[in-house]
Amino acid sequence: MVRSNEPSIGVIGSGSWATALAKILTDNNNPIHWWIRSEEVVRHILQRHHNPGYLSSVYFNEELLHLDTDVSKVIERLDYVVIAIPSAYIEETLAGLHPNIFAGKKVISAVKGILPGVNKLLNDYLELKFNFSPADYYTIMGPCHAEEVAAEKLSYLTLSGMDTSSTAAIAKRFEAPYLNTVVNDDVYGVQYAAVLKNIYALGAGIAHGLEYGDNFLSVLIANSADEMASFLRRAGARNMEVGIHHLIPGVSPEPIRKSANYAASVYLGDLLVTCYSLFSRNRTFGNMIGKGYSVKAAQLEMNMVAEGYNASRCIYEINKEMGAEMPIADTVYRILWENLTPVEGFRHLEDALI
């Protein structure tokens, strides 16, 4: 049955992650409004029922789709706005929108990056530019490769918001036989974790390109996890205690469902899969850098955005105030932005790892 008399929901973006989220929502019989930049892609989806550029194996029920190339019109129709575009393009996409366009709406961010033009997370940018209330902001994070969603391999999504009860209600929209949802209230922590894991995946890719072995890679990722935890604590992230769990009021009274902590999927789990998986675009990008590609050549070779590239510079700047010890992230930044050679950078890292 198609849902009726329920808040409208829509997706802003048409890349692989946006397409995966559109699939999840429509698989649950949620009619969606979907902003797609290209009129040609809109026509293709309406005629052929799949996105020609991303996850083309996923077919959609046309009756559940309302497609438009005008982002303002799409947002105006929505109660829940899922933003799933690369962070580097958010300012451009939202430019010129009415300052009150998000008033009374709930924004669900699927953005795994920092807006490089202003060096801010999406929630801080919306609050600054659109006077958007933090209470109406939610995040939806992995580990959840779009390709595995397309193949309906069991995945986990964590939804975060200031109020866990309303977050749990939104999470139900994304539940599916191939998808489990987790709820927490660590809005800043999960976003920074998503940013950092992309940087460390670049590092893992560079190490692979330099032909380091699995033993070194395991040490690199273990140290990355420790480095990420240090930054998250300074950023005020919650749920950092490993092995300690609490019941979440209004979400799950069952002892079998633990509350999320640093060892959970959205923190450590997403770091591991992004560093190891062949689906990881950041690992792929780093691998090319390690093999000797220039940044420009690697960008031209890939058809998708590697969020870790801009994120490495953003975190480098943010950490000037945070003051966390981040030799791995700093090395990735210097390789990508300051022409440090991968060989030299990792030779210094060899002595810094424990």
Q: Tally Cβ neighbours within 10 Å of residue 177.
A: 8
Kindly report the backbone phi and psi dihedral angles of residue 333, in degrees, each rounded to the nearest multiple of 5, phi listed first: -60, -50
Categorize the per-residue pLDDT at 115 as very low, low, confident or very high, splitting at 50, 70 and 90. Answer: very high
Angle value at C-alpha 14, between 118 and 274, nearest 5 degrees = 70
Indicate whether 208 pLDDT > 60. yes
Name the pTM for this structure: 0.92
Where is average pLDDT lowest: 54-68, 97-111, 278-292, 303-317?
Answer: 303-317
Indicate whether 259 pLDDT > 80. no
Q: Which residue has the higher pLDDT, 254 or 170?
A: 170
**Neighbouring residues of 32: CB distance < 8 A, sequence distance ≥ 6:** 9, 10, 11, 22, 25, 26, 64, 65, 66
Categorize the per-residue pLDDT at 257 as very low, low, confident or very high, splitting at 50, 70 and 90. Answer: low
Radius of gyration of the chain (CA): 20
- CATH of segment(s) 189-352: 1.10.1040.10
Kindly list the domain boundaries of the chain, sorted by start residue.
9-185, 189-352
- The CATH superfamily label for domain 9-185 reads NAD(P)-binding Rossmann-like Domain (3.40.50.720)
Indicate whether 1 pLDDT > 90. no
- For residues 65-78, give the mean pLDDT: 97
Average pLDDT for the chain = 92
Where is average pLDDT lowest: 68-72, 141-145, 222-226?
Answer: 141-145
Per-residue pLDDT tens over the stretch 286-323: 999 999 999 999 999 887 778 999 999 999 999 999 99
- For residues 20-38, give the mean pLDDT: 96
Helix (H, G, I), strand (E, B) or coil at 30: coil
Where is average pLDDT lowest: 11-25, 96-110, 256-270?
Answer: 256-270
Q: Give dist(CA 60, CA 169) in Å, integer.
A: 24
Q: Which pLDDT value is given to residue 75? A: 97
